[in-house]
Structure 1
Amino acid sequence: MRLTQLPLTASVNKPTKTSLVALGILLGLSGCGENNNVNQQDKQTAVTPAMVDDTAAKSSLAIWPDLKPAIAKDDALEAKIDALVAKMTIEQKVAQMIQPEIRDITVEDMRKYGFGSYLNGGGAYPNNDKHATPADWIALAESLYQASIDDSVDGINIPTMWGTDAVHGHNNVIGATLFPHNIGLGAANNPKLIEQIAAITAKEVMVTGIDWVFAPTVAVVRDDRWGRTYEGYSEDPQIVKAYSYAIVEGLQGSVNGDFLSDQHVISTVKHFLGDGGTENGIDQGDNIASEQDLYDIHAQGYVGGLNAGAQSVMASFNSWHGVKNHGNKYLLTDVLKDKLHFDGFVVGDWNGHGQVANCTNESCAQAVNAGLDIFMVPTVAWKPLYENTIAQVNNGDISQARIDDAVKRILRVKFRAGLFDKPSPANRPLSGKTELIGQASHRDVARQAVRESLVLLKNNQGLLPLAPNAKVLVAGDAADNIGKQSGGWSITWQGTDNQNSDFPGATSIYAGINKLVTQAGGKATLSVAGEFDPQQKPDVAIVVFGEEPYAEGNGDIDNLEYQRGDKRDLALLHKLTAQGIPVVSVFISGRPMWVNAELNSSDAFVAAWLPGSEGQGVADVLFTQADDKVSHDFVGKLSFSWPATPQQTQVNVPLAQHNTEQAQADYQPLIPYGYGLTYQSTASDAVVLDNLSEDNLAATQTLVDLPLFERAVKSPWSMYIANASERQGLSSSVAQNSALTIRTMDRVVQEDARLVSFNGSEQGTVGLISNFPRDLRAYSNSDAALSVSINATQALQKPLWLGMACEGDCRKQIDIATQVNTQVGEWQSLSFSLACFADEPMDFAKIVMPFYLATDAAAEIRFSDVVIQAASTENTIKCN
């Protein structure tokens, strides 16, 4: 979806239905597979000294290895590339570097400009039809390809290429095989299986005429609060390294064999670099690891992927020591291209260049100069970016040599992939072979992957495996929910708004259990709420529950407690155990979570992660054959340590080079990395998971003040202004709209405050916003307060609203005019308990605006130092 630019406006404390509808449009924020950063006008941040790219001065290239290129230099190919580049105009070259999205271009745009590539984001489909058929995908691929090679307009016929996020199968296409997400595959620790999965994914992608896949993700996750944790294979860089090699080879073929044949696609190792190590697990945040750790921990997936011949690398949204990676020449050029000898191309992430200091979505010479070869530029920003980049080459901001290097890299990959020689998308060998989409043999491999990904954490009295002829109650809201078991990046970007009918050919966990049990003469009964006929008391209950689907940004949380404040699944477990029914819990999640109470209430507990479309793989392992023989034992082992408390979010097994006696002493998870029971395990093999503490330690959790605007706007927030019809981000020291003017001012130090002049013609708003919702429950559940330093130059005659807003149709605002008027013309610090903003429908788990001021009065307001205080003071206003 796109972010409609509407402001946060209201003139009454209680939101009207109309205002909430407008607010819902305003807060319809989206992210990287669909719209993972807000239009640049909505997210400019102040440039601080920390954002200056000085990393090269404090870095050491000696840390990085000299990788031998996986593909030897081909002089004949290089001569062919040079000859083609020599014929190209600057306009044609820049067009190769522009990657728009299918919702924002037409076939005629492709014919006119000749884009080097294009993409579909998560939740984007041909004809904007979620249920587009493979024929629809092929038709779009064919039409854009033919337009790209039509030289009647632009005089050049370089074939374009289509990139897609096929991250656990061809997950945007109805009916495709969906494999377990990466976290589950990491638990399987089977690189050969991973290579097979990648090869199948390549085939299903090629059926739809697509050339290029944005996978694998090789993030090494350090903080499980990160909403992309499930995209990581393991906290162990060595598993990630081995898997990266396997997946790249499965997608692209072997460099010594069928490399980029008509059975394979171009792969993308992503996101370079350190996305799994941001502070506090904040998506797109700052990684402050040392350079040695950046290599030892976060770069190992690139060593594996580049050794397998990966042809593209995607730059990451995150920063390293305050410098956005899309603009970091040291990482993109000095390290990746020069030291690691990567000769493919670097593609950006969804408008990631617009987050570079002094850049916008429409203009970013810094990214090109840093080493970005392809701008991923969805939305209509592609046209001004194209025009501005041409102008920047012409005026010398970008050198012709840098442009030529980028284009040569793009052409090199296209030649290696045979795009100049292959038939058009509709005429390739696998194109249109719809029987390959969700083919039975593909689903069999996915089913195997489900079996191998399951990790048995608890099995009291050997409850598992179960006899298939038993009376089985299957409960929980994930039991018959293919969308929930598949997670994010499943048909839609966030994996939400799906029904079982959106997954033809797939099997829910309940359906798999029911089939197996029925065939053996048993009886499986589905009841989400755990109801059953008292005359037919079940022998066992299998309760399938877990996290709701989410993708990047929206999945960020502030601690690992499962269902904090809403223990409905725990209540279901209690209900069943109180009736003397043995309970097997099957936990669906994208990360390890603090589930002590749920573990206590389970006789057996299985971490099933996000298994994808083949839910019957769960039944294969939980039950024996009719003759009591075990068909499939548990083989999965934890590739992530399991937390002992909700606050233990960074519990990672010590790496070999860091494995000191102190590191071992500090490593205190509830369940260690590498753990997993089998049916041969004895009591001595098991971690005791009974009578665990159910104290979430909220009372003892140490919170610190959370600055939102202190001297400058703090990440991940950005400042905006709005009137009745539109909102804009701040990209300079002065900005205005029809309702107000805002400028920086000096209070204590340079530009540490803002002066807002409301003209009274309509309601104006100034506030802070994040491109993704943020979890602030730890503060709302404590005695925290929102504090702001404020100064009104004259008494306010109308309300001045102080408010907060969350994702969806929810916000709360209070009139603070009375408090402000007590010291007109003077600075004062006002503090308001977060309880003032806690009424329904406010959801502190999904805050997108932690602070805004709004009024329709003619007033001059100065403010600074906006902070969420960890604890109220005696001066905090409590509200009734």
Structure 2
Amino acid sequence: MRISTIITILLSIALLPSCSFRKQEGISSDPIDAKVSKLISSMTLEEKIGQMTQITITALEKEGEPGILDKNKLREAIHKYKIGSILNTPNPGAPKPKRWNAILNEILAETNQTDKKIPIIYGIDAIHGASYTDGAVLFPQQIGMAATWDAELVEKCTAIAAYETRASSIPWVFSPDLDLPRHPAWSRLWESFGEDTYLSSQMAAAMVKGFQGDDVGASDKVATCLKHYIGYGSTTTGKDRTPSIIPERVLRQHDLPIYEKSINAGAKSIMISSGEINGIPVHASKKMITEILKDELDFKGFVVTDWQDIIYLHTRHKVASTMREAVKKSVMAGVDMSMVPDNYSFFEELFSLVSDGEVPMSRIDDAVSRILRVKFELDLFRTPVTDPKDYPDFGSPSSVAMSYIAASQSITLLKNTDKILPISKESKVLITGPTANSMKYLNGGWSYTWQGEKSDEYANDKLTILEAFKNKIGEQNVTYTPGVSIFEEIDIAKSVSLTNNADYIILCLGEHNYTETPGDINDLMITEPQIKLAQALAKLNKPIILILNEGRPRIISQFENDMNAVLQCYLPGNEGARALIDIVYGDINPSGKLPYNYPRYANSLQKYNRKYTESLGDTEQNDDADYQKSYNPQYEFGYGLSYTTFSYKNLNIDKIFMSKEDSIQITIDVQNSGIRTGKEVVQLYLKDMFASITPEVKTLKRFRKIELQPGEIKTVSFMIGIDDLKFVNENNEWVAESGEFEVMIGPLSKKIVLEKELKEP
């Protein structure tokens, strides 16, 4: 075979698209490239800039008539400004699929009157299911999905979310959230997968696969939008959209790998962080967007801003003295689409900039090519709007069952003194606390509305915690009073008095519904009224089962010692109460594990993979036991109890000495040593004993969730390679240094040695 032929074949393979158009007879280039090039060559500058412009649907509604599109506004958007994208939910809240279809068809009718009939790409925040569609199945929020430690389950649930989003005629979702929160007070922690890079990357890739499948153009799949690139969850204050200080070495080691994994899984778009890193807003950073994301990580999809963030370069960040300068900075940094979202300032400024030669046409063509490519991959030119009649499984019992399974596997048993749980169905319970009787506390934000305040209205056929208890054991066995709200005392004395006829107190505490800036807090401690209620009940010598519904770990150390059992529910979704009650009564054996460290004190917020010098202890011995003294979280990352017990035996490593070309097989026997069937998450951690950059105490490298019958033993096998031993050095390079490493699974550990490379004399 001739060299030129081989090169042609290799190039054609490299350019194969990840969509339904990829199968070709013989040797050819990507057919989508040809379609995109042909279309762009015929487009005017106005049409190109229009494709880069995204407008919120509410800006197109009639004055005083929420939810009704103004035909003149829509016509102006489509015909004058040639917009390529619309986002968000119409007023007043989540429509049913039939209404979504009518809205999308109204928009389509207008685009069909244009010269080129380029379809709109409609985007929505499908955060935990098709969460802006009335009747859709709502799953646990991302932090709860992370607590399942089950990537296969996450993919299955996300595939249902994709199906139901397409049933709503919407092809593009602003999900998953890949933020790596470094401060537990951050108001969007619950939208993330927690504090660990490896766990987050595995879960994020599973969501991308669930949303997009093998063919993003299929009628039951949607395009993903990874967010928020990058460093958004690492604010120094713990408050939303405040600055982050992150060395590039740290960013490359902990944040970028999550994005890289999802980009390799085929993610089609990325949303830029609203924040700034080291004084540079990410929307204005050519290094972050073009040099690292597009060039280094080879991201081929398109980049979209977050809400109004180009405008904020001028008004908030103050790095652009005019709106014109803000547009130029962001577009030249690599932004492809602006979520403007309610005016045409971006369009007008960019048109002027290109006309004046300040932004080259090559940058515009690159941006538009990326956007059009995704539209072709989604098959929007042939099927711009789907029909809800083609989705008979929308809201189906089988999909609801998957939400229940996810909730039951996410809920984490953190304490179970004297095996108080599970309790008998014949016992009488007092239900008290602010989160006991509202769906808002099960779903949180991004549920039907932005802040999730209407969950009781939209999910009125679902069970609150109180209703689930009554449904399970009968109203005659349940007494209820709230005692307090999240922020105010109501009648703590009544809660105390009603314990007289109860065998158990079910204390339901947590947080109100929130997301983004409205969720900012000044104190990580759980609110004062809830502390007072817990402390008053603790004086009664009655067994207390603490139920937490919270988006972040609110500190409970003032009364945790007095609780007999603690269950962390996170934000478990519409089926969360059913799952919780089945765990309380033993019909389900809990298997969730924490995806973050749960802090004990407000000024002791170390992550599990901390540096040794973060916890020096009280002496100068400098051994591991000493370091542990000042590291004392309430509960540690990866922790979670079961109603059965598991024992770990026979940790084996197939080789102790490893070269840089080797991989190592690690096996361990795990036995269910209790009397109930249960699921266990087998977690493998590595410790670099010594390194040129101070090593972490331990780092998660592998995990697997297994189910074991009583007495059953399973051998779990893991493979690790040279990449698992690497870290980013002071030159921002990934390196593996020779020396000792410790492999840790459960209570067992063994050493391996990475050998030095022998250089030629």
CA distance in 2: counterparts of 1:318 and 1:211, whole angstroms: 27
Aligned residue in 1 for 2:635: 671
How far 1:500 moved relative to its partner? 1.9
User: Which of 501, 505, 508 is the aligned partner of 2:461?
Assistant: 505
Aligned residue in 1 for 2:580: 618
SS of structure 2 residue aligned to 1:314:
strand
Aligned residue in 1 for 2:75: 108
CA distance in 2: counterparts of 1:116 and 1:133, whole angstroms: 24
Which amino acid in the other structure matches residue 591 of structure 1? R
Aligned residue in 2 for 1:599: 560
1:591-621 superposed Cα distances (whole Å, 9 cap, x missing partner): 1121012312311111111111112111111
CA distance in 2: counterparts of 1:606 and 1:537, whole angstroms: 23
How far 1:569 moved relative to its partner? 2.0
- Judge conservation of contact 1:485–1:612 (CA < 8 Å) in 2: yes
CA distance in 2: counterparts of 1:538 and 1:494, whole angstroms: 35
CA distance in 1: counterparts of 2:358 and 2:415, whole angstroms: 61
CA distance in 2: counterparts of 1:661 and 1:375, whole angstroms: 53
SS of structure 2 residue aligned to 1:679:
coil
Which amino acid in the other structure matches residue 449 of structure 1? A
- Judge conservation of contact 2:245–2:278 (CA < 8 Å) in 1: yes
Which amino acid in the other structure matches residue 517 of structure 1? I
Which amino acid in the other structure matches residue 597 of structure 1? Q
TM-score by length of 2: 0.73
Counterpart mapping for 1:818-829 below 5 A: none
SS of structure 1 residue aligned to 2:479:
strand
SS of structure 2 residue aligned to 1:99:
strand
How far 1:318 moved relative to its partner? 1.4
Query: CA 1:78–1:571 in 2, change beyond 3 Å: closer, same or farther?
Result: same
Q: How many aligned positions are there?
A: 588
1:448-498 superposed Cα distances (whole Å, 9 cap, x missing partner): 1111111111111111011122212222121111012211111221223x2
- Judge conservation of contact 1:252–1:259 (CA < 8 Å) in 2: yes
Aligned residue in 2 for 1:82: 37
User: Which of 292, 297, 302 is the aligned partner of 1:335?
Assistant: 292
- Judge conservation of contact 1:99–1:376 (CA < 8 Å) in 2: yes
Which amino acid in the other structure matches residue 119 of structure 1? L
SS of structure 2 residue aligned to 1:287:
coil
Which amino acid in the other structure matches residue 146 of structure 2? G
1:10-53 superposed Cα distances (whole Å, 9 cap, x missing partner): xxxxxxxxxxxxxxxxxxxxxxxxxxxxxxxxxxxxxxxxxxxx
Query: CA 1:499–1:452 in 2, change beyond 3 Å: closer, same or farther?
Result: closer
- Judge conservation of contact 2:430–2:498 (CA < 8 Å) in 1: no
How far 1:433 moved relative to its partner? 5.7
Counterpart mapping for 1:736-775 below 5 A: none
1:559-601 superposed Cα distances (whole Å, 9 cap, x missing partner): 42111xxx22233333434333211010111111210123123
Counterpart mapping for 1:105-144 below 5 A: 105=60, 106-112=73-79, 113-120=81-88, 124-125=89-90, 128-130=91-93, 132-144=95-107
How far 1:522 moved relative to its partner? 7.2
How far 1:661 moved relative to its partner? 7.1
Counterpart mapping for 1:670-709 below 5 A: 670-681=634-645
TM-score by length of 1: 0.64
CA distance in 2: counterparts of 1:479 and 1:360, whole angstroms: 50
CA distance in 1: counterparts of 2:529 and 2:172, whole angstroms: 42
- Judge conservation of contact 1:114–1:158 (CA < 8 Å) in 2: no
Aligned residue in 2 for 1:358: 320
1:827-858 superposed Cα distances (whole Å, 9 cap, x missing partner): xxxxxxxxxxxxxxxxxxxxxxxxxxxxxxxx
User: Which of 590, 609, 623 is the aligned partner of 2:570?
Assistant: 609
Counterpart mapping for 1:305-344 below 5 A: 305-344=262-301
1:773-803 superposed Cα distances (whole Å, 9 cap, x missing partner): xxxxxxxxxxxxxxxxxxxxxxxxxxxxxxx
CA distance in 2: counterparts of 1:508 and 1:213, whole angstroms: 28
User: Which piece of structure 1 moves more, 668-677 or 333-342?
Assistant: 668-677
SS of structure 2 residue aligned to 1:573:
helix
CA distance in 1: counterparts of 2:632 and 2:430, whole angstroms: 36
Aligned residue in 2 for 1:527: 481
User: Which piece of structure 1 moves more, 234-243 or 173-182?
Assistant: 173-182
CA distance in 1: counterparts of 2:372 and 2:209, whole angstroms: 21
SS of structure 1 residue aligned to 2:58:
coil
- Judge conservation of contact 1:365–1:389 (CA < 8 Å) in 2: yes
CA distance in 2: counterparts of 1:70 and 1:348, whole angstroms: 28
- Judge conservation of contact 2:95–2:132 (CA < 8 Å) in 1: no
Instruction: Please give the root-mean-square deviation of Cα atoms over the aligned residues, in Å.
Output: 2.7
Query: CA 1:575–1:81 in 2, change beyond 3 Å: closer, same or farther?
Result: same
- Judge conservation of contact 2:167–2:391 (CA < 8 Å) in 1: yes
Query: CA 1:202–1:359 in 2, change beyond 3 Å: closer, same or farther?
Result: farther
Query: CA 1:300–1:667 in 2, change beyond 3 Å: closer, same or farther?
Result: farther
- Judge conservation of contact 2:98–2:388 (CA < 8 Å) in 1: no
User: Which piece of structure 1 moves more, 89-98 or 537-546?
Assistant: 537-546
How far 1:280 moved relative to its partner? 2.3
How far 1:226 moved relative to its partner? 1.1
Aligned residue in 1 for 2:506: 542
SS of structure 1 residue aligned to 2:470:
helix
Counterpart mapping for 1:284-303 below 5 A: 284-303=241-260
- Judge conservation of contact 1:176–1:438 (CA < 8 Å) in 2: yes
User: Which of 325, 334, 355 is the aligned partner of 1:394?
Assistant: 355
- Judge conservation of contact 1:475–1:541 (CA < 8 Å) in 2: yes
User: Which of 336, 339, 345 is the aligned partner of 1:376?
Assistant: 339
Counterpart mapping for 1:91-490 below 5 A: 91-105=46-60, 106-112=73-79, 113-120=81-88, 124-125=89-90, 128-130=91-93, 132-151=95-114, 155-254=115-214, 258-356=215-313, 357-358=319-320, 364-380=327-343, 383-422=344-383, 424-425=384-385, 428=386, 431-432=388-389, 436-490=393-447
Which amino acid in the other structure matches residue 353 of structure 1? I
How far 1:436 moved relative to its partner? 4.0
- Judge conservation of contact 2:508–2:548 (CA < 8 Å) in 1: yes
Query: CA 1:359–1:435 in 2, change beyond 3 Å: closer, same or farther?
Result: farther
How far 1:379 moved relative to its partner? 2.0
Structure 2 gaps, min length 5? 1-13, 23-28, 61-72, 314-318, 484-493, 616-621, 648-671, 673-761
CA distance in 1: counterparts of 2:323 and 2:512, whole angstroms: 32
Query: CA 1:508–1:359 in 2, change beyond 3 Å: closer, same or farther?
Result: farther
Query: CA 1:358–1:464 in 2, change beyond 3 Å: closer, same or farther?
Result: same
Query: CA 1:131–1:274 in 2, change beyond 3 Å: closer, same or farther?
Result: closer
Aligned residue in 1 for 2:545: 584
Counterpart mapping for 1:715-730 below 5 A: none
Which amino acid in the other structure matches residue 590 of structure 2? F
CA distance in 1: counterparts of 2:392 and 2:607, whole angstroms: 44
Which amino acid in the other structure matches residue 459 of structure 2? F
- Judge conservation of contact 1:653–1:673 (CA < 8 Å) in 2: no
User: Which piece of structure 1 moves more, 387-396 or 503-512?
Assistant: 503-512
CA distance in 1: counterparts of 2:15 and 2:599, whole angstroms: 40
CA distance in 1: counterparts of 2:303 and 2:246, whole angstroms: 22
1:155-175 superposed Cα distances (whole Å, 9 cap, x missing partner): 221111100001111222233
- Judge conservation of contact 1:345–1:406 (CA < 8 Å) in 2: yes
Which amino acid in the other structure matches residue 607 of structure 1? Q
- Judge conservation of contact 2:17–2:30 (CA < 8 Å) in 1: no
- Judge conservation of contact 2:430–2:499 (CA < 8 Å) in 1: no
Query: CA 1:492–1:535 in 2, change beyond 3 Å: closer, same or farther?
Result: closer
Query: CA 1:571–1:274 in 2, change beyond 3 Å: closer, same or farther?
Result: same
- Judge conservation of contact 1:513–1:619 (CA < 8 Å) in 2: yes
